[in-house]
Structure 1
Amino acid sequence: MTEPGTSTDHRDRTTLLCVPFAGAGPSFFHPWRELAAGRWRVSAVELPGREKRLLEEPYRNVVEAAKAEIDNVVADLGEGARTVLFGHSLGAVLAYELVHLLTQRGVHVERLVVSGSPGPWTQRERRAAGLSGDEFLARVEEFAGFRHEALDHPEMRELILPALHADCTMHEAYVPSTDEPVSVPICSLRGDHDGLVTAEEAQQWRDATTAGFTHAEFPGDHMYLVDHGREVLDVIEAESARGR
């Protein structure tokens, strides 16, 4: 997870730890390093089944994934690090589980920023899990409003599909590990034309924290962040400044 060419001592600045959405890997957030313009150290969780961990078996349970990856996350953050977590869709609930675990380990998380997700206690509809092949991809594209260009190449598609299947399965079956809210401020983001998550559902995250809650919307559908990375980072900066 460590940025190339950077020290392992990250105490001098906040780490923005990004948790990818279904089928995505850390490389999606690489452009955010430049967009962050030195405001944060941008890192990302790398899950099995993609990129450098392509040959590893992907997770099929969100809570188990968080528990299995927490040591890697803590090592990446470094001792005494200031941390903001960002997660979109599947990444939102995985980030929520990671915040619980990080808090238990005494890691200070300044803020959790969730995106494109209803509250953690809202049961996900089984929209794609169980389908296969083109039917599965069509369903994913239908509700995500997004198609990765790699899916147009048969060889790449065969590499991507297992992780995408597993991600959809664990997202749609997600049940929080605890009914206890986190003690970290939460900011919930949403595309204003998101057909998967309503504005009311995005604001359900208010009940997932005993600290402050804010909500913001951007132009676009479920995958609005593809075109609005800079604006998302601006909101995270403003939210972080609010909490100081």
Structure 2
Amino acid sequence: MTGGAWISTWPEPGGTPVHDSRPVLLCLPPAGAGCHQFRAWQRPLADSAQVWGVQLPGRENRWRDPMPDTFDEAVDAIADEVRARLAPGHPLTIFGHSFGGLIGYELARRLGPAALVVSGCRPPSHWDGAGRGIVEDDEELNKLLDAGGPGAALLDPDTRTLMLDMLRRDAQLSSSYAHTPGARLDIEIHAWGGTADETVTAHQLDGWAEATTRAAHRMDFPGGHHAVLRNPELILPRLADVIRAASRPAAPTHL
């Protein structure tokens, strides 16, 4: 498949190299959104990680790029680019919100990161099968768009149409997902959500424990489905803690 890069990085003030020794935080946005929102995370996380964003086609700097035919095609392309850009063994933490969390999980199966953080995202078995992806019905897509915040009501008709089209394409991509049971991840999973989220329940977040052989930690933040993205002052210090703990070299084993 042709098109631009799947990974976006951004120059930092003072000319700090994008590729350095700090752990990488790979960020995946929700359906219908681009990854440039994560650029603002660079400065508060500067002591902990370099921030990379995953950009699906059809948005922001990839507006004209074609969408992949299937979910697996997208994940494989992202994983290939990460492998090409990241040295073997370099500490990697994956963060994904909502639909981005599902992509993040499948990337974790391919890349073996140090940790996986998902927010507002049902565990993979809840995405499998007809009707469990993002609903393609226009009424539901409008509700999903409006759930993005009060700014949605201020969109002009043309912009709203474009955003709905982007959501519709992501919905089609999600419908091609089929969870393939296999070995559980051997990393800690952090499942975060909003206390007033009507889309993903606390019980569903607890279901992420089934995806790993290690600990799964649930954390709740005040707000709805996008609570995690809307509370950077709350979540970024916790994310920095996750990155530092996950990237710490393992203690030597003494016989």
Pair in the same fold by TM > 0.5:
yes
Q: Shift in Å at residue 213 of structure 1?
A: 1.5
> Is 1:186 matched with 2:189?
yes
Structure 1 counterpart of 2:41: 32
Aligned equivalents of 1:207, 1:164: Cα separation in 2: 29
Distance 1:23 1:150, change over 3 A: farther
Q: Which residue of 1 aligns with 2:137?
A: 131
Mapped partners of 1:153, 1:131: distance in 2: 21
Counterpart pick for 2:144 among 140, 144, 147: 140
The CA distance in 2 between the partners of 1:60 and 1:230, in whole Å, is 37
For residues 42-63 of structure 1, give each alpha carbon's deviation from its aligned partner in whole angstroms, at most 9, with x where no partner exists.
1111111111111112246332
1:148: how far off? 5.1
Flag the 1:75–1:149 CA change in 2: closer, same or farther, 3 A. Answer: farther
Instruction: Assess, with a 3 A threshold, how the Cα gap between structure 1 residues 228 and 36 changes in structure 2: closer, same or farther.
Output: same
How far off is 1:160 after superposition?
Answer: 2.8
Alpha-carbon spacing, 1:130–1:159, altered in 2? closer, same or farther (3 Å): closer
Q: What SS class does the counterpart of residue 36 from structure 1 fall into?
A: coil
2:52 to 34, 43, 52: 43
Equivalent residue for 2:174? 171
Report the TM-score, using the length of structure 1 for normalisation.
0.85
Instruction: After the TM superposition, list the runs of 4 or more consecutive aligned residues in structure 1 that deviate by more than 6 angstroms.
Output: none
CA contact (8 A) 1:151 1:157 kept: no
Deviation at 1:231, TM superposition (A): 1.7
The answer on 1:83 being equivalent to 2:92 is: yes
User: 1:44 is matched by which residue type in structure 2?
Assistant: G
Displacement of 1:147 after TM fit?
A: 5.6
Alignment of 1:48-59 (within 5 A): 48-59=57-68
Q: Does 1:100 align with 2:109?
A: yes
On the 8 A contact 1:84/1:111 being kept in 2, the answer is yes
Measured after TM superposition, the shift of residue 237 of structure 1 is 2.3
Note closer, same or farther for the CA distance 1:152–1:137 as it changes in structure 2 (3 Å cut): farther
SS at match of 1:67: helix
Give a deviation string over 1:24-45, Cα, whole Å, max 9, x none. Answer: 1111111111221432101111
Larger mean Cα displacement after TM superposition, 24-33 or 173-182: 173-182
Which of 66, 71, 82 in structure 1 is aligned with 2:80?
71
Which position in structure 2 is the counterpart of 1:197? 200
Say if 1:194 and 1:220, in contact at 8 Å, map to a contact too: yes
> For the Cα contact (< 8 Å) 2:132–2:175, is it kept in 1?
yes
CA contact (8 A) 1:194 1:221 kept: yes
Give secondary structure in 1 for the equivalent of 2:191: strand
Contact 1:32 1:230 in 2 (8 A): no
Which has the larger displacement, 40-49 or 68-77? 68-77
| Counterpart AA for 1:30 | R
Work out the CA distance in 2 between the residues paired with 1:36 and 1:54: 28
1:3 aligned to 2:7?
Answer: no
Computed over aligned residues only, the root mean square deviation of the Cα atoms, in angstroms, reads 2.5
Instruction: From the superposition, tell whether residues 200 and 126 of structure 1 become closer, same or farther in structure 2 (CA, over 3 Å).
Output: closer
TM-score (norm 2): 0.81
1:106 corresponds to: none
Stretches of structure 2 lacking an aligned partner (at least 5 in a row):
1-7, 249-255
Question: Contact 2:133/2:174 (CA < 8 Å) preserved in 1?
Answer: no
Between the two proteins, the alignment pairs up a number of residues equal to 235
The secondary structure found in structure 2 opposite 1:34 is coil
Q: 1:141-175, CA deviations, whole angstroms, 9 ceiling, x for partnerless residues?
A: 46x46365497123333433332111123335532
Give how far 1:215 is off: 1.1
- Structure with greater Cα Rg: 2
- The aligned amino acid for 1:7 is P
